[in-house]
């Protein structure tokens, strides 16, 4: 008779391309993986895996077991979560997806703090500026900044977040301060390539008149890493458009100067996206969302 440990072991085997990769994932030796797989096959009197020179493939029976194992283990996790929920305890696995730079700076520290407070909880954090939205339902919470990719998810605003045009004092001393959006075409502009957005079209609205202007910049420098383009701007190489959360500190310290302050760029609010409504939300998700609102809502980038 096989048990839940066998199912978890085989799920790991099925999710890797070789027994060596499985051994690395479980931090054991390859011979021990081979031995354990043989014991499992002997228990079932079935061949589950075809071994190739540098890879493995599942037999028909192996595919069936992997699929059933995933369902059974998910049901067991749900059962454990339900038991803990009856006691108002936080347990299970909290899965969070967040943008790379923001997630590294603000979400990762929050997650370690939250997990340390709830010892029956494990947390999976993935950081990506170009996530696979087809897997949206596999996450408990998705942190999103700016344009929303999916309107079917439940939205909870964590903090308002403006976008600023800015450059270093050295750049302004050398090239001058643009007085209107059209003059941006005469300046060195830097683009951040992320989320498949049209990053070379800068749209802005005059604060007093409400008139809008769209300027197509021709960036001399571009990168998919926000830290890189911010450093380029501070080094005097050009003008950037960045989120308030990312440049507020540098503006306050004088390393960057905000440009065209009479104009506003589209907001890029920081939100949490969830695939369940409040009543169906697991305790771990509900409590972490509350903590997110407390910390991110206070705008720690101004501290």
What is the average pLDDT across 190-214?
87
| pLDDT reported for residue 82 | 62
Q: Which domains does the chain have, with CATH numbers?
A: 4-83 (1.10.10.10), 90-161+269-302 (3.40.190.10), 163-264 (3.40.190.290)
**DSSP reduced 3-state for 155:** strand
Q: Confirm if 242 and 199 have CB atoms less than 8 A apart.
A: no
Average pLDDT, rounded, for the chain: 89
| pLDDT reported for residue 120 | 86
pLDDT tens digit sequence for 56-115:
999 999 999 988 888 887 777 766 666 655 555 678 889 999 999 999 999 999 999 999
pLDDT tens digit sequence for 7-31:
889 888 998 889 988 888 888 898 9
Per-residue pLDDT band for 124 (boundaries 50, 70, 90) equals very high
| pLDDT reported for residue 150 | 64
Nearest to 183 by CA among 164, 165, 196: 165
pLDDT tens digit sequence for 228-255:
999 999 999 999 999 999 999 999 999 9
- Per-residue pLDDT for 279 more than 80? no
Q: Confirm if 212 and 203 have CB atoms less than 8 A apart.
A: yes
**DSSP reduced 3-state for 2:** coil
What is the average pLDDT across 283-295?
93
Identify the residue with better confidence: 4 or 240.
240
DSSP letter, residue 238:
-
| pLDDT reported for residue 112 | 96
The contacts of residue 65 (CB under 8 Å, 6+ apart) are: 10, 44, 48
Q: Where are the alpha helices (DSSP H) in the chain?
A: 4-14, 19-26, 30-44, 60-86, 100-102, 108-117, 169-175, 226-234, 244-252, 283-296
């Amino acid at each position: 008779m096989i048990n839940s440990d066998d199912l978890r072991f085989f799920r790991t085997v099925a999710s890797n391309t070789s027994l060596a990769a499985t051994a690395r994932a479980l931090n054991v030796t390859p011979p021990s993986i081979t031995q354990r797989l043989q014991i499992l096959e002997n228990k079932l009197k079935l061949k589950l895996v075809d071994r190739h020179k540098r890879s493995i493939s599942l037999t028909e029976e192996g595919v069936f077991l992997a699929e059933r194992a995933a369902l059974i283990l998910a049901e067991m996790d749900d059962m454990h979560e339900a038991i803990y929920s009856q006691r108002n305890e936080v347990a299970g696995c909290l899965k969070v997806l967040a943008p790379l730079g923001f997630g590294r700076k603000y979400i990762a520290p929050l997650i370690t703090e939250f997990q340390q407070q709830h010892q029956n909880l494990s947390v999976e954090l993935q950081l990506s500026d170009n996530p696979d939205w087809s897997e949206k339902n596999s996450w408990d919470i998705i942190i999103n900044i700016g344009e929303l990719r999916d309107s079917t998810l439940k939205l909870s605003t964590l903090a308002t977040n403006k976008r600023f045009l800015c450059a270093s004092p050295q750049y302004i001393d050398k090239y001058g301060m643009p007085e209107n959006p059209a003059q941006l075409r005469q300046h060195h502009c830097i683009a951040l390539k992320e989320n498949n957005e049209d990053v070379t079209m800068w749209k802005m609205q005059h604060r007093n008149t409400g008139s809008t202007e769209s300027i197509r910049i021709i960036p001399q420098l571009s990168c998919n890493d926000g830290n890189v383009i911010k450093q380029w701007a501070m080094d005097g190489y050009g003008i950037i458009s960045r989120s308030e959360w990312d440049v507020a500190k540098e503006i306050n310290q004088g390393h960057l100067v905000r440009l065209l302050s009479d104009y506003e760029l589209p907001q890029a609010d920081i939100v949490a996206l969830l695939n369940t409504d409040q009543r169906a939300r697991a305790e771990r998700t509900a409590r972490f969302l509350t903590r997110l609102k407390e910390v991110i809502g206070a705008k720690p980038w101004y501290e």
